Amino acid sequence: MNTLTDAVPDSIPQARASTAAPTAPVRPLYWSLRRELWENRALYIAPLIVAALVLFGFFVGVGHITSDVNRIQIDPDKRQAVTAIPYAMAAIAIMVTGFVVAAFYCLGALHNERRDRSILFWKSMPVSDLKTVLVKASVPLLVVPVILFAVIFAVQLVMLAVSAMVLLPSGVRFATLWTQWPIFRMSVVLAYGLMTETLWYAPIWGWLLVVSAWARRAPFLWALLPPIGVIIIELFAFGSGHFAHFLGQRLGGGLDAAFSDTGSHQAMVDMAQIDPARFFGSLDVWGGLVVGAGFLAAAVWLRRTRDPV
């Protein structure tokens, strides 16, 4: 008996210590974002595939670049343009791919969970409709730009190293090539361009999420038909194309708002052309952010009220 009674007090502090041990935080937003990446691997696989194709094409055509550089060595400006074109084209191809994938992600973000009825399971989790929509909106607004920046920077770094090795026998030194394409300075331009383009497209991401939360089927068609219908009605009823011009400006005017002197059609945009005051001082930018926030609020309400498909 003494042995049993002596053992009981010793076990009580251990039990208290086990109950008082701190537990790891759940971090629902973090795991919700991880889930989006697990379920939508095309967000990073598609840019990687395009990056591989770009590098393959660059490796095949690098000899032509060498001959062009040798032919115009006397003119430094032309040589800089020839050297910069592959880097600019690589960035454009990967960026376009990333934004297209982000658009299709937004169309399926809230629709797919209603179609496969997994929304019934996710609504039982300790994550509100507001947090869910914000997590899904953060994918095109935050995650995709980071992925694109990493992929483009890595591709351009490989291209710079290959160009240095190929052009070295031609008498072009690495320092000269570095001057023609200062990759770290251009990475600042790239980061700024991705950030401004993403914010410029904020109402588009919001509209696609609203359609994804509302449409019972074919969200791609429902995302296109209303704008096309407005364009047709305005054209035949009033003989004007203001809405079409507005959409065109929203789809392709982000760089013009973020940089100065982008109309010179030069291959390389320098840091001197970065103009954040012009971008963040534009009413088009803030108007688009307000409209995008309204669309996100509508997507939250629709996710709360719409039934599974």
State yes or no: pLDDT of 72 exceeds 90.
no
Q: Give the angle 90-100-182 at the CA atoms, nearest 5°.
A: 25
User: Smallest Cα–Cα separation from 163: which of 92, 91, 82?
Assistant: 82
Counting Cα atoms < 13 Å in the Cβ hemisphere of 25 gives: 5
State yes or no: pLDDT of 66 exceeds 70.
no
Answer with the residue of higher pLDDT: 184 or 179.
Answer: 184
Which of 90-94, 118-122, 149-153, 262-266 shows the lowest mean pLDDT across its residues? 262-266
Radius of gyration of the chain (CA): 26
Percent of the chain with pLDDT over 70: 77
Provide the number of structural domains found in the chain: 1
160 is in which domain, residue-wise?
Answer: 41-305
Q: Which residues contact 68 (CB under 8 A, 6 or more apart)?
A: 82
Confidence of residue 1 (pLDDT cuts 50, 70, 90): very low
In the predicted model, what is the mean pLDDT of residues 122-129?
A: 80
Structure tokens at 160: 């710079």
Structure tokens at 256: 């013009």
Residue 17 within any structural domain of the chain: no
3-state secondary structure 255-287: HHHHECCHHHCCCCCCHHHECHHHHHCCHHHHH
Residue 11 within any structural domain of the chain: no
Counting Cα atoms < 13 Å in the Cβ hemisphere of 57 gives: 12
Q: At what angle do helices 76-109 and 144-167 cross, to 10 degrees?
A: 150
Task: Report the Cα–Cα distance between both ends of the chain, in Å, rounded.
Answer: 67
Residue 13 within any structural domain of the chain: no
Residue 9 within any structural domain of the chain: no
Residue 5 within any structural domain of the chain: no
Alpha helices, H only, 124-264: 129-138, 144-167, 174-180, 183-200, 202-214, 219-238, 242-252, 254-258
Q: What is the pLDDT of residue 81?
A: 59
Q: pLDDT per residue over 219-257, tens digit each?
A: 999 999 999 999 999 999 988 889 999 999 898 888 888
Q: Give the angle 62-68-69 at the CA atoms, nearest 5°.
A: 90
Residue 164 within any structural domain of the chain: yes
**pTM, 2 dp:** 0.83
Q: Which residues contact 28 (CB under 8 A, 6 or more apart)?
A: 125, 126, 127, 131
Q: What is the pLDDT of residue 165?
A: 76
Residue 15 within any structural domain of the chain: no
Contact present, 54 and 155 (Cβ < 8 Å): yes
State yes or no: pLDDT of 118 exceeds 90.
no
Residue 24 within any structural domain of the chain: no
Task: Tally Cβ neighbours within 10 Å of residue 63.
Answer: 10
